[in-house]
Chains A and B, each alone.
Chain A
Amino acid sequence: MNKENPWVLFLPKSLAIWELATAMNIFTKAVAWEIGERFDRVLIEKGHSDWLAEVQKAHSLAPVSMHDPSFVFEVPRKYEDSLLWQALPPYTKELSSKFWRAKKTRNIWQHEDIKQTVDTFVTGASIIQDLASELDLDVAHYGPDLKNQITQIKRAGGQIIPVDQSTELRSLLEHKEEEVDALQKKLEETRLTAERLGNQAESLASIETAKEAAEVAAQEAQMLADRLHAELQHERLLKADPADSFEIGQIWPSDVNIGSRLLYLSAHMNDLYDAERLSLLSNEVGPIAELAAHHWLQVVPEGGHVNLTENGHAAIKQGNSYRYLGRLDEVVHGFVKDKPVQTEFADQSFIYKDGEVVSLQEDDETIPDGLVGILVKSGLATNTDIPIRLTHDSIVAAQIDGRWIQLAKLPA
């Protein structure tokens, strides 16, 4: 019976390493699958009904899967007298070498994938293709198809489809999940058939094969789900919000969306009131709303009508314009990185230079714990004196271009 190869050609849409690694992984699995099937078909025909057990025993192997690339590529290369060669063209050092090179390629894409490049992908695809062509496998065409795709991507400037990666990944994931469902169903059917036939060795091997395919597909689905999650985060970062660069207190530009959620910054409640929902924002998002209100009321003590964008940027209405207050989730404990200081300074002040902090207080030379680390990590120039101060609520600020900019908050 000619089984359908579950490893369908995956053509990368960009030169991103995850796409190349996926494509190479699928190509090697597809080749190994077809060779494994050939072993099974030919060796059973030749009377070795339990050929896998024979091979395992002959070469003292741990239990293996007949489709596992490391088994399929390794055994013929290592054992010239292996039973497997009975299902292959006559042994030659050249063919053995092709198995060895395929195995090596598979290993580097498996264990050192992050170090790989477009060039090593093309080389690897040629090596796997070489073995597949020599054995006249159906999947040999994956090699030229992949290399042709790389050429197309390069011509298209590095990416072949202008849709966002997450859309593509979501589609791949849905496809893979359908495949997992189908393979699990197939596994159940195989089990039932095996039970009906009295669980003979051949049936058990079929279960093993179906089980392996289902497990591998499930792993692939998980891999795609992880990538989708990472890509969605990446895309969110890429969709930069112009308000991210606003300074607290600046007038909100009229050409930037002000946000449609209307709230009231209440000094009475130290909170934000949502008149549409008849609710305080703290009831919806927790104490962060009260912290934000507390911080913003230091800028606008009387409070007032606030617009909130989807990303949590807030602006307060003042006359006919809006003043930027900050981002809801950034004002935890009153600290907003890279924004000017809004609260009062404590007495102590310092100078930071050459990775060292010096207290300017004659009567107190104490350097607070964690301050040096914060300044070193801040990436501030180290060859000039940089004035440093702390606020009463332990925010570390550096004087940059005449303004006191928040760097970090000292650990409690």
Chain B
Amino acid sequence: MTELFVGPLKILTNNQGWHPATDIDFGGDEADGQAFNAMLVAPGLALNIQYFLASEAGGGVKIVDILDSPLKYKKLLGRVRQGVQRLPDGFAMKQVRSIKDSSSDKPTVTKATHEELDQTLGSPLLHILRPLGVTEVGVAKDMFGSRNSDLAIRWSEEGSPLIPFVTFIVTRVIPVMESSE
């Protein structure tokens, strides 16, 4: 069980760990795989979040319930999923983008820099991610030869399932938290 502070929020996990589940894989198809559940909490806020990994094609992180949280968090429910890809030797988020306009009911994510995320968090994001097993943070084009120049994060098989949760908080939850509605 874990209680990890990420800025103004805390990630809660317990002993249930990974369990069999069926959800949407990285490519958008329904697939069998494993899910890891957690809660993101702060005073007056409790969000159920799930990290799904299909057996073959990766998966992603999304909010599955906002419980009694303020209605503005409803815009995150099932949307703006953070995709996670399987690599031969681990995992990667090759397109780490963040919500810039959180006033919209249907927010979208746009390109973000490492510095912008540090600013959103109020402290260096790597200070949290490194101990969790992140091995590289950089630009997707440089790290993977992708065409895009999005921020990318890579970790090994041994990396913690909390890595995408931390990223989700910084790129999605804190921006909504800081918005007025």
Contact = CB atoms under 8 A, between A and B. Distances in A.
B39 A283 contact: no
Given A264-B67, A268-B64, A269-B37, A283 B42 contact: no
A268 B64 CA distance: 9
B12 to A, nearest CB: 5
A268 B50 CA distance: 9
Contacts of A290: 14-16
Nearest to B67: A264
Given A268-B64, A269-B12, A273-B46, A280 B1 contact: yes
A134 B76 CA distance: 94
For chain A, the bracket of interface size reads: 10 to 19
Contacts of B46: 264, 273, 275
A231 to B, nearest CB: 37
Interface in A90-118: none
Contacts of A282: 1, 14-15
Nearest to B49: A268
B15 A278 contact: no
Interface string A246-275: 000000000000000000101011110101
B23 interface: no
A264 B46 CA distance: 10
A279 interface: yes
B39 A268 contact: yes
Nearest to B44: A275
B5 to A, nearest CB: 10
Interface string A282-295: 11000100100000
B28 interface: no
B30 interface: no
Nearest to A289: B14
Interface in A36-62: none
B128 interface: no
A287 B1 CA distance: 10
B15 A273 contact: no
Contacts of B37: 268-269
B14 A273 contact: no
Contacts of A275: 41, 46
B48 A268 contact: yes
B111 to A, nearest CB: 31
A280 B42 contact: no
Contacts of B67: 264
Interface in B39-83: 39, 41-43, 46, 48, 50, 64-65, 67
A278 B10 contact: yes
Interface in A380-408: none
B52 to A, nearest CB: 13
Contacts of B38: 269
Main secondary structure on A side of the interface with B = mixed
Contacts of B10: 278
B3 interface: yes
A269 B64 CA distance: 12
Nearest to B5: A278
B16 A278 contact: no
* Listed residue (A264, A273, A275, A278) with the most chain B CB atoms within 10 angstroms of its CB: A278
Interface in B1-30: 1, 3, 10, 12, 14-16
B3 A283 contact: yes
B12 A273 contact: yes
A283 B1 contact: yes
A280 B39 contact: yes
Nearest to B50: A268
B1 A273 contact: no
B42 A278 contact: yes
Contacts of A278: 10, 12, 41-43
A279 B39 CA distance: 10
Given A266-B48, A275-B46, A283 B12 contact: yes
B17 to A, nearest CB: 11
Contacts of B43: 278
B42 A271 contact: no
A279 to B, nearest CB: 7
Contacts of B65: 268
A290 B64 CA distance: 20
A271 B14 contact: yes
Nearest to A294: B16
Contacts of A280: 1, 12, 14, 39
A194 B46 CA distance: 72
Given A273-B39, A280-B1, 15 more contacts: A268-B39, A268-B48, A268-B65, A269-B16, A270-B16, A273-B12, A273-B41, A278-B41, A279-B3, A279-B12, A282-B14, A282-B15, A283-B12, A290-B14, A290-B15
Which 7 A/B pairs are nearest by Cβ-Cβ distance?
A268-B48, A282-B14, A278-B41, A271-B14, A280-B12, A283-B1, A270-B16
10 contacts: A269-B48, A270-B14, A273-B12, A273-B46, A278-B10, A280-B14, A280-B39, A282-B1, A282-B15, A287-B15
